[in-house]
Structure 1
């Protein structure tokens, strides 16, 4: 029996579910994944970008229940500090938390214009100004972190909470064929080839498509 349960919505569409799952796996927490059906109201509200407060992913670990991605990250950092979810250096740790928080609370134009859809591919997708500004800021974050750390993850050879937070952005850049500078493209490709990402993507490809309204987004 698994040590904990992570409740998620769609693997194909839900960037927040992906982030929570990556964090749990990076912390080596033994989890059973519970997937909400497309008919669940909370799940559909999240997937259609209608919910102001995401209640999934939700981690249940003994008496602990956590339902915000950054709260899940903080819990896992405290529960298993040896997992290295944040850098050991205090300066880098503050930087890592800052860019993770920026992803958590920002980039709404990108989220609206380029919803996560792992199964889709658009070769000539038109980006509007607000999304372009968000992309420029994300690339600035990546370039600065990778230049300082040497990669291949944002803070060096092992993934941190920052990589979990930006992993769904990498999928969006693939889905919508967003042109990236060399270092950022290499980071995107490294994240997409990450075994944990490949495992999630395989599950997403096998997932039934129940959220037809998402076609209206494109």
Structure 2
């Protein structure tokens, strides 16, 4: 069984993506959670990745770090999970969007840090963050219109692209970012995903600092 090393669920958006993807696809894994500011975090990661960051997926003694690389690995190892759309154009678009989210929207990330347990509506946003929010809404609406006829997610069925936007849905919920129509419908679909509900529930109840000896948890 895989081991997925993650940070605090309340704050670690990078960890959230592969966790949501694996859980939603029914791919079993053991979770090891490390407090982001603990000595155990640095000590444990120094043994498995030169990047020194979460998430890390362990397949036996082989380590994959970086959230997108982990999701790609899972998609290749488990083609039956259909983590990417089957249609070639939809799949290309889904990969484009995941990569765009992976490397972009810096103003949004900075202005709206992930904090699942908080409710912080009405904060003052810089213009660059507002532009990122508008771009995000357009991506979701346009993608749903072009590819989403087969279900409630961006490409109908759940895909890695949705896992990559799940932290943004969480951020928009925390900060009360207004959404209506297809954008609101898409956010509601992501929030209703059982994997998303589990992550958010656990994020709200975890301690800020995760004990060093927290046991592994199995997810199937």
After TM superposition, the score normalised by the length of structure 2 is: 0.86
1:100 corresponds to which residue? 98
1:143 corresponds to which residue? 141
Partner SS, residue 161 of structure 2: helix
* Aligned 1:69-148 pairs, distance under 5 A: 69-148=67-146
How many residues end up aligned between the 2 structures? 200
Q: C-alpha displacement at 1:29, in angstroms?
A: 2.2
Q: C-alpha displacement at 1:163, in angstroms?
A: 0.2
CA distance in 1, matches of 2:31, 2:167: 18
CA distance in 1, matches of 2:116, 2:67: 20
Q: Deviations over 1:33-70 (max 9, x none)?
A: 111124336959xxxxxxxx672110001232111111
2:217 corresponds to which residue? none
Q: 2:35 touches 2:208 (CA, 8 Å); kept in 1?
A: no
Unaligned runs of 5+ in 2: 43-50, 211-220
2:203 corresponds to which residue? 204
Q: 1:7 touches 1:56 (CA, 8 Å); kept in 2?
A: yes
Q: Deviations over 1:164-200 (max 9, x none)?
A: 0000100111100001131101111111111111111
1:183 corresponds to which residue? 182
2:7 corresponds to which residue? 9
Unaligned runs of 5+ in 1: 45-52, 212-218
* Aligned 1:133-172 pairs, distance under 5 A: 133-148=131-146, 149-150=148-149, 151-156=151-156, 158-172=157-171
Partner SS, residue 7 of structure 1: strand
Partner SS, residue 63 of structure 2: strand
Label 1:30 to 1:142 Cα distance change in 2 as closer, same or farther (>3 A): same
CA distance in 2, matches of 1:210, 1:111: 22
CA distance in 2, matches of 1:177, 1:69: 26
Structure ranking higher on relative contact order (CA contacts 8 Å, 6+ apart): 2
After TM superposition, the score normalised by the length of structure 1 is: 0.86
Partner SS, residue 3 of structure 2: strand
